[in-house]
């Protein structure tokens, strides 16, 4: 096949491109320039698409022996990922921008452009697997549980999965580094990316405050009594215990946790740990990664964070919303998080949590 290998400048996408070549594909390396004003250098595990990263990607492509180009997707990224991230926080939700990037950029803007130009698909360095069976091409967890990225890919439709190639899904990360070393790729020991790529400082709260303001507002208990003040509701996370600055103790001295963020009234609601517990998750904007599910309850696993646990659940689709009823309650769920359903290691689909109880 003729494919585009998306190359970030990291070790994973470099090895993925090399494996794609070895698998007999006709591969062209593409580095996505996602920041409109890229920084020159990378600092540790943060930031991405710096000029240094694009250089690393180019050198990996040289080593592998494939053509290399840079595609400017800064505008698409800003609109589809960064603005969405801000809007979600402004609405009091907690979004995952990596899902949006896969949904809007890597397997939409890039894949569409590649197909129009005569390519058959896009290979990335994600840790996930695909299988072809009775249900067509389906998305599955990677063999390395610590690196598995199927969660952030659970926004891909069957058509997008058909155009996706994940050469690393069958290998553990440690072995990818060894392989990169053996292939002579200079990025073999480059640190992994963490955090949010477009917040190079790593200070998400500060980044949000700069853009959404830091209007002082009340911190209230569940009965609505004001017990403190916050500096910008957006910077709190559901389940957060530290840094609330509350001086009025609870009657039994138990700690308080953030239960809710209400952007309209700029209020942060706190309460006891038990009040964080939920066992029913309801999600909207459902995307099926394979056959659609109906109202008939099925047994499977729910996952609500990128490297979170797979939680035993019963799930169904009520016609408009995806519902997961957890066997054991879970603490600290924020609206905006992605609910991903698995059938064994197969990704069934995902939805954006809009309600929990």
Partner 1 sequence: MSVYLDHAATTPIFDVAVKAMTDALTKVGNPSSLHTEGRSTRKDVEDARDLIAKAVGCLASEVIFTGSGTEADNAAIKGLFWKSEKKIIAISAIEHHAVLDPARWLVEHEGAELIEIPVDKSGELDLDYLKDLVAKRGSEIALISVMHSNNETGVIQPIAEVVKIAGSIPVHTDAVQSFTKTPLSYKELGVTSMALSAHKVGGPHGIGALILQRAYEIPALLHGGGQEREIRSGTLNAPAIVAFAAAAASKIYEASKVEELRERFEAGLLSSAPSAYINGVDAKRLPGISNVTFPGTQSDSLLLLMDSMKVSCSTGAACSAGVHRPSHVLLAMGHNEVSAQSSLRFSLGANSTTADVDFALSVLPTVIERGRAANQK
Q: Which residues form the interface with partner 1 (CB under 8 A)?
A: 28, 31, 33, 38, 51, 54, 58, 67, 69-72, 74, 109, 112-113, 115-118
Q: Write out the two tokens for 189.
A: 């020991």
CA gap 241, 66 in Å, rounded:
50
State the nearest-atom distance from the C-beta of 230 to partner 1, in Å: 40
Nearer to partner 1, 71 or 316 (CB): 71
CA gap 317, 76 in Å, rounded:
31
Of 98, 197, 289, 313, the active-site residue reads: 197
Is there a contact between 278 and 329 (Cβ–Cβ < 8 Å)? yes
State the nearest-atom distance from the C-beta of 11 to partner 1, in Å: 20
Q: How far is CA 147 from CA 12, 36, 150, in A?
A: 11, 29, 9
Neighbours of 191 (CB within 10 A): 12
Residue 264's Cβ-side half-sphere holds a number of Cα atoms within 13 Å equal to 0
Of 48, 101, 289, 313, the active-site residue reads: 101
Q: What is the DSSP string of 292-310?
A: ---SS-EEEEEE-STTPPP
Nearer to partner 1, 54 or 96 (CB): 54
Is there a contact between 102 and 166 (Cβ–Cβ < 8 Å)? no
192 DSSP assignment:
P
Nearer to partner 1, 34 or 281 (CB): 34
State the nearest-atom distance from the C-beta of 112 to partner 1, in Å: 4
State the nearest-atom distance from the C-beta of 73 to partner 1, in Å: 10
Nearer to partner 1, 119 or 315 (CB): 119
State the nearest-atom distance from the C-beta of 38 to partner 1, in Å: 6
End-to-end C-alpha distance for the chain, whole angstroms: 47
CA gap 57, 111 in Å, rounded:
19
155 by DSSP, 3-state: which?
coil
Nearer to partner 1, 105 or 324 (CB): 105
Q: Write out the two tokens for 291.
A: 């056959």
Nearer to partner 1, 72 or 327 (CB): 72
316 by DSSP, 3-state: which?
strand
State the nearest-atom distance from the C-beta of 15 to partner 1, in Å: 22
- 354 in active site: no
- Give catalytic residue positions: 101, 197
């Amino acid at each position: 096949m003729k494919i585009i290998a998306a190359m970030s400048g990291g070790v994973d996408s470099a090895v993925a491109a090399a494996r794609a070549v070895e698998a007999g594909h006709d591969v062209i390396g593409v580095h996505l320039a996602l920041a409109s004003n890229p920084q020159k250098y990378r600092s540790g595990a943060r930031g991405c698409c710096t000029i240094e990263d694009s250089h690393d990607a180019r050198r990996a492509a040289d080593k592998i022996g494939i053509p290399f180009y840079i595609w400017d997707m800064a505008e698409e990224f800003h609109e589809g990922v960064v603005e969405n991230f801000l809007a979600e926080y402004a609405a009091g939700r907690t979004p995952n921008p990596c899902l949006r990037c896969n949904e809007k950029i890597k397997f939409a803007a890039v894949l569409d452009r590649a197909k129009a130009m005569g390519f058959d698909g896009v290979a990335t360095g994600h840790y996930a697997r695909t299988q072809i069976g009775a249900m067509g091409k389906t998305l599955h967890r990677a063999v390395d549980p610590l690196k598995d990225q199927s969660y952030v890919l659970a926004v891909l439709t069957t058509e997008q999965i058909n155009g996706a190639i994940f050469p690393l899904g069958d290998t553990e990360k440690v072995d990818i580094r060894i392989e990169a070393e053996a292939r002579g790729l200079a990025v073999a020991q480059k640190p992994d990316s963490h955090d949010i790529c477009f917040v190079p400082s790593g200070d998400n709260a500060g980044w949000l405050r700069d853009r959404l303001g830091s209007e002082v507002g009340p911190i209230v208990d569940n009965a609505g009594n004001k017990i403190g003040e916050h500096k910008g509701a957006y910077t709190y996370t559901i389940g957060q215990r530290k840094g609330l600055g509350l001086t009025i103790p609870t009657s039994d001295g138990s700690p308080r946790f953030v239960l809710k963020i209400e952007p309209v009234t700029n209020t942060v609601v706190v309460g006891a740990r038990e009040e964080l517990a939920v066992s029913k998750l309801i999600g909207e904007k459902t995307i099926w990664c394979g056959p659609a599910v109906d109202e008939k309850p099925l047994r499977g696993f729910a996952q609500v964070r990128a490297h979170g646990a797979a939680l035993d659940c019963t799930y169904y689709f009520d016609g408009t919303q995806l519902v997961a009823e957890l066997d054991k309650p879970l603490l600290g769920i924020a609206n905006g998080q992605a609910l991903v359903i698995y059938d064994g290691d197969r990704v069934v689909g995902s939805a954006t949590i809009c309600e929990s109880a």
